[in-house]
Amino acid sequence: MSKQSKLILDILENSSTYLSAIEIFQKAREVISNISLGTVYRNLKVLVLKNKIRKLSLNGDKDVFANLKNSHDYLVCKNCGKAFDLHIKNIHKVLSKATKKQFIDYNLTVFFICDDCKKKLVK
Amino acid sequence: MSKQSKLILDILENSSTYLSAIEIFQKAREVISNISLGTVYRNLKVLVLKNKIRKLSLNGDKDVFANLKNSHDYLVCKNCGKAFDLHIKNIHKVLSKATKKQFIDYNLTVFFICDDCKKKLVK
DNA sequence: TTAACTGCAAATCTTTTGCACAATC
DNA sequence: GATTGTGCAAAAGATTTGCAGTTAA
């Protein structure tokens, strides 16, 4: 594991929210000033495959990445794309049952219209 | 609603699986020979916003689109990206409860390693 | 006539990749 | 010394957008 890879994992471990590849790249540059974006992408891919981090496609624009401790369930506004943590009770148990315990990870995105957008849309 | 928009919706309504923008474009060309890819993307975006179709990011490579009747739950191989339909019982009820009935739609992707890949990875 | 929609092509944005060099075992 | 990983820059893919022309209320 290179120092670049360690740094990327560390950035995600210490983030309470998901980050895009470019955000990770920018944070990484503060430590290793010449780290390249290609290296960030390469390591993110490896870390996802090793199941050390998760890749999320919340609204499809671009992928974001998160550590395994953070929320797995998101409530996303269909209008503005803002995302909120959601905690679905027992979902782990439900998925274990449905997949006969063979699942590794999951992404759950639930769409709604947030209050701000509801107001705007009424106008 | 333009004939282009109707056609795109029609293609998805009559598909038993999800399709990428380019696949939809190719099918659309068989009917409207000069329809453009830009128009396909523009209309897909509108149809998603109107909640007539769903956008999925199954493995993050590119987005795919599906009608509302098809499966909402997918089992995706983390290694090869192959996707299978999954049917989680009562998920609608669980999400209703968790979001106080304010949800419009959801995407659930569960990751695993398919049998083919398990064999390959053992080698 | 005017507002909404289209085809086309260029632009943008995200992600991947080839290559020469550096780090690590 | 061989393998693996890196920085850089170019390439590839997906998606968006500006614009002039069409369509249709």
Return per-residue pLDDT of chain A as tens, 123 residues: 899 999 999 999 999 999 999 999 999 999 999 999 999 999 999 999 899 999 998 876 789 999 999 888 999 988 788 889 998 888 888 888 888 778 888 999 999 888 887 776 655
Domains of chain B: 1-68 (1.10.10.10), 71-123 (3.30.1490.190)
Query: Virtual CA dihedral for A9, A48, A85, B85, nearest 10 degrees?
Result: -170
Those residues of chain B whose CB sits closer than 8 Å to some CB in chain A are 49, 51, 55, 57, 60, 63, 75, 78-79, 86-91, 94-95, 98-99, 102-113
For the four alpha carbons of A97, A100, A105 and A109, in that order, the dihedral sign comes to negative
CB contact under 8 A, A78 and B105: yes
Contacts of A108 in chain B (CB under 8 A): 106-109
Report which DSSP code applies to B114: -
| CA–CA separation, A24 and A36 (whole Å) | 11
Please provide residue A20's backbone torsions phi and psi, each rounded to the nearest 5 degrees.
Answer: -80, 165
How would you classify residue A81: left for phi > 0, otherwise alpha for psi between -120 and 50, otherwise beta?
A: left
